[in-house]
Structure 1
Amino acid sequence: MTVALSRRASDVRVIGLISLAHGSSHFFHLVLPPMFPWLKDAFALSYAELGLLMSVFFVVSCIAQAASGFLVDRIGARPVLFSGISLLILAALVYSQSNGYAMLLMGAVIAGCGNGIFHPVDYTLINHKVSPPNLPYAYSMHGVTGYLGWAAAPAFMVAIAQLSDWRIAFLSAALLEACILAVLWVNRSYLLDNVKERHDDTQASNQAANPGVAQESAFAFLKLTAVWLCWIFFFFSMASTSSLQSFAPSALFSIYQVPLDVGSYYITLLALGSAGGVLFGGYLAAKLKAPERIVTSCLSVTIVMCLLLGTGFIPVGLIPILFFGLGFGYGVVAPSRDLLVKTVTPKGVAGRVYGIVYSGIDLGAAVGPFIFGFFMDAGLPNALFLGIVAFQLMIIPTVFKVSAGIAPKTA
């Protein structure tokens, strides 16, 4: 009994620390977009240029994620985690001292390098430090804190920018991340993973699964159609979300004359709705065991909501309700989406499949804001919501194709 309680306490501590780190990475996804109105005025930038900053951030993050996965396997998760958080602190400091677009780009590159390490680190630590019975809680908390990080950033950044200026807002973000690094450092003993032990476990698992059989190519899983369908799902899903996060306040101002600071708080509502949706979506996925029905039903509702926002005729008082509803719908989809990915993942290549599929999220986040920046510059804010509808319509066929039984092959 004592051992079990001790193990549970350790799991809780590890889950809390990893979730805190993950929430801080999502927080840094959105330290820049809420400052777009200030940066646009300060440096006379176009929306396309501002959107490109987010594109650079996510493209660099995508590359860093692939590289950091190998680094985690080589030197362990903890030093990579501390390095990533340190890079986020440095990025915020660079943003705060920017004297033009070049420095903002430099900050985006540094932030992308820092952001790219979190998922390889997080899932390595969760899988090897948390006992199997508590893994579902670890994954759930990990996801929820990501959405809470998204929720906190716009409110935090806009409030400080209004009280002082945008430079102080970025400095405050750097200070907040430094405090998180301090908490993780104090509890660093809980984040130490045994690299040799992980390697030995992997080799033993491979031998047990394929005794005396020559290993297939490390890239054989790329032939699976289901993997690329999941990639498309993630790409269009994140392209929608990141575009909404980047330009919704400006679009709402143009269409409905909603003040920019109020529009930024709607992004917080979007993230809070997503956090609640993830919790409900996990329960729903476990009970119904029909991920394709859950995904298509929720996307159908969010498509209608985006169409309503794009018309320009809905009452302003309904906008915050619609944003919370959009977030809730996106959140409900997430557990079922992850279940679909797990279903199509062959044994023995989970890490590689995860890396490829997750790169769709980073690239979607890079492409979406870049595309819609041009629409915003052209004076077509309604196109933001209508374009998101088009992206979501692209997702639905992939769900049906995956669930139709594209069976994974054991690698």
Structure 2
Amino acid sequence: MTSSSDISAPMGGPARSGERILLGQVSMAHLVSHVHITTVPALMPLLPAFFGASYVEIGLALTVFNLVSLLVQTPMGFATDRFGARRILLLGLVLGGSSFLSIAVSPSYVWLLIAMAAAGLANGVYHPADYALLARGIDGSRMGRAFSIHTFAGYFGNAIAPPLLLGAAALAGVGQAFALAGVLAFVVAVLIILTPVGEGGARSTAARQADGPQEALPRASLITPTVISLIGLFVLLALSTGGLVSYAVAAFVQGYGLDLASASAALTAFLFASALGVLAGGALADRTRRHGLVAAAAYLATAVITAGLALTTPSAVVVIILMGLAGFLSGIITPSRDMMVRAAAPRGAEGIVFGIVSTGFNIGGLIGPLLFAFLLDRGQPRAIFAVAAVFMVLTVLLALVQERRRT
């Protein structure tokens, strides 16, 4: 028999309220994950003196973080669908928070490596757990907007981490900046515990399933050509946008005659415009099923802008405008990208598939820094944008292939 609460769920009653709570929880956790990803890069100028280490040694800590995340991302996807996404997400928040708090307590270089390995393990939780909760707890007609809000929260975490952590370091010291990053995770974990989904009203069946363990599916059925293609798509996205985020400032200063303030303003424009683009892309993703075409069109325009930066020497104002436009367009594709992954995931295996596909980010995170740093060391700052544009064009081609496979 169908209960009255089940009938009212699509009408926007208690079930709709539960969706909002769920989306808020997952988005807060995603913001924390991106603050943690950005903590060491944001504090980079202060860390050699703090740890008594070189920049290369500090960079090794980032490599450890990405390598551990790469190795655990897929196992965490299976754990998410086996033991429950909410439970795994809370464990990730606690582990990540403890990792950064421990650096404040034991500020040695050796412990930094150990703590970043633990933080990498925690980072492997977020994508499979977040997307599993969203995929099972949000109505399909609102999924694109839910993905966009979730991703916006992560991008916003990237944008606020540098001023937040550098401000804390200036006021209280580098150790306290690490402590702040850690405490933020515990605050969000407590909020999630205190606001169970559906409190005060009925919940949809999908939302109830999001908290509980899921029946295991055969692993062989998950590694499909579509999933492998999506891994490649994520690798290319990490290589292209990751190169811009990490090295655009240095490239603008070294090869375009921009001062540090103008170059930083250009990156800030890229980051905040990306977050706004994600919101616009979410609304667009809910209005079309041709997500591969949306992603291809937006990223092709981004590639044209990036190639233009490689071939010309615009003024500081024009650079800021172009970087903002590129950020907005690159943000638009993100919800469509996530919808492509959701479409490739069997029901009940969303966490596993998102975990598998997200390893592409970590692979790109291992390759990209070495490649773009090599170009800067060779005195080729314009090549940063040229190579990024090439990766973007390859991303466009792969998105079109994915769209054709879907149809």
Distance 1:152 1:171 in 2: 16
Instruction: Report the Cα offset of residue 50 of structure 1.
Output: 4.5
Contact 1:34 1:264 (8 Å CA) reproduced: no
One-letter amino acid of the structure 1 residue matched with residue 220 of structure 2: F
Distance 2:108 2:375 in 1: 23
Does the C-alpha gap of structure 1 residues 22 and 351 become closer, same or farther in structure 2, counting only changes over 3 Å?
closer
- 2:36 aligned counterpart, secondary structure: helix
- 1:83 aligned counterpart, secondary structure: helix
- For residues 359-411 of structure 1, the C-alpha deviation after alignment (integer angstroms, 9 at most, x for no partner) is 1122212321233233344444333322212221221221232223367xxxx
- For residues 159-208 of structure 1, the C-alpha deviation after alignment (integer angstroms, 9 at most, x for no partner) is 43455543333232223333223322322566996689654xx58xx9xx
Structure 2 equivalent of residue 355 of structure 1: 355
1:47-58 alignment, distance < 5 Å: 49-58=57-66
1:323-402 alignment, distance < 5 Å: 323-345=323-345, 350-402=350-402
Structure 1 equivalent of residue 151 of structure 2: 143
- 1:219 aligned counterpart, secondary structure: helix
One-letter amino acid of the structure 2 residue matched with residue 79 of structure 1: R
Instruction: Report the Cα offset of residue 351 of structure 1.
Output: 4.7
Query: Is 1:45 equivalent to 2:70 in the alignment?
Result: no
Structure 2 equivalent of residue 177 of structure 1: 185
Larger mean CA deviation between 285-294 and 300-309 belongs to 285-294
One-letter amino acid of the structure 1 residue matched with residue 354 of structure 2: Y
Question: Alignment RMSD, CA only?
Answer: 3.4
Structure 1 equivalent of residue 231 of structure 2: 231
Does the C-alpha gap of structure 1 residues 195 and 269 become closer, same or farther in structure 2, counting only changes over 3 Å?
closer
Larger mean CA deviation between 142-151 and 302-311 belongs to 302-311
Instruction: Report the Cα offset of residue 256 of structure 1.
Output: 4.2
Does the C-alpha gap of structure 1 residues 369 and 8 become closer, same or farther in structure 2, counting only changes over 3 Å?
same
- 2:34 aligned counterpart, secondary structure: helix
Contact 2:239 2:368 (8 Å CA) reproduced: yes
Structure 2 equivalent of residue 17 of structure 1: 25
Structure 2 equivalent of residue 249 of structure 1: 249
Contact 1:22 1:146 (8 Å CA) reproduced: yes
Does the C-alpha gap of structure 1 residues 193 and 60 become closer, same or farther in structure 2, counting only changes over 3 Å?
farther
Instruction: Report the Cα offset of residue 316 of structure 1.
Output: 1.4
Does the C-alpha gap of structure 1 residues 279 and 309 become closer, same or farther in structure 2, counting only changes over 3 Å?
same
Structure 2 equivalent of residue 319 of structure 1: 319
One-letter amino acid of the structure 2 residue matched with residue 280 of structure 1: A
One-letter amino acid of the structure 1 residue matched with residue 228 of structure 2: W
Residue 107 of structure 1 is aligned with which of 110, 115, 123?
115
Does the C-alpha gap of structure 1 residues 128 and 399 become closer, same or farther in structure 2, counting only changes over 3 Å?
closer
Aligned length in residues: 391
Does the C-alpha gap of structure 1 residues 345 and 274 become closer, same or farther in structure 2, counting only changes over 3 Å?
same
Does the C-alpha gap of structure 1 residues 95 and 322 become closer, same or farther in structure 2, counting only changes over 3 Å?
farther
Contact 1:235 1:363 (8 Å CA) reproduced: yes
Q: TM-score, normalised by structure 2?
A: 0.82
- 1:314 aligned counterpart, secondary structure: coil
Structure 2 equivalent of residue 82 of structure 1: 90
Structure 1 equivalent of residue 75 of structure 2: 67
Instruction: Report the Cα offset of residue 79 of structure 1.
Output: 3.3
- For residues 36-86 of structure 1, the C-alpha deviation after alignment (integer angstroms, 9 at most, x for no partner) is 22235654524x555443332222123232222333344333332222112
Does the C-alpha gap of structure 1 residues 245 and 88 become closer, same or farther in structure 2, counting only changes over 3 Å?
farther
Larger mean CA deviation between 265-274 and 159-168 belongs to 159-168
Does the C-alpha gap of structure 1 residues 263 and 178 become closer, same or farther in structure 2, counting only changes over 3 Å?
farther
Residue 28 of structure 1 is aligned with which of 9, 27, 36?
36
1:110-121 alignment, distance < 5 Å: 110-121=118-129
One-letter amino acid of the structure 2 residue matched with residue 45 of structure 1: S
Alignment gaps of 5+ in structure 2: 200-206
Q: TM-score, normalised by structure 1?
A: 0.81
Structure 1 equivalent of residue 204 of structure 2: none
Contact 1:270 1:327 (8 Å CA) reproduced: yes
Structure 2 equivalent of residue 209 of structure 1: none
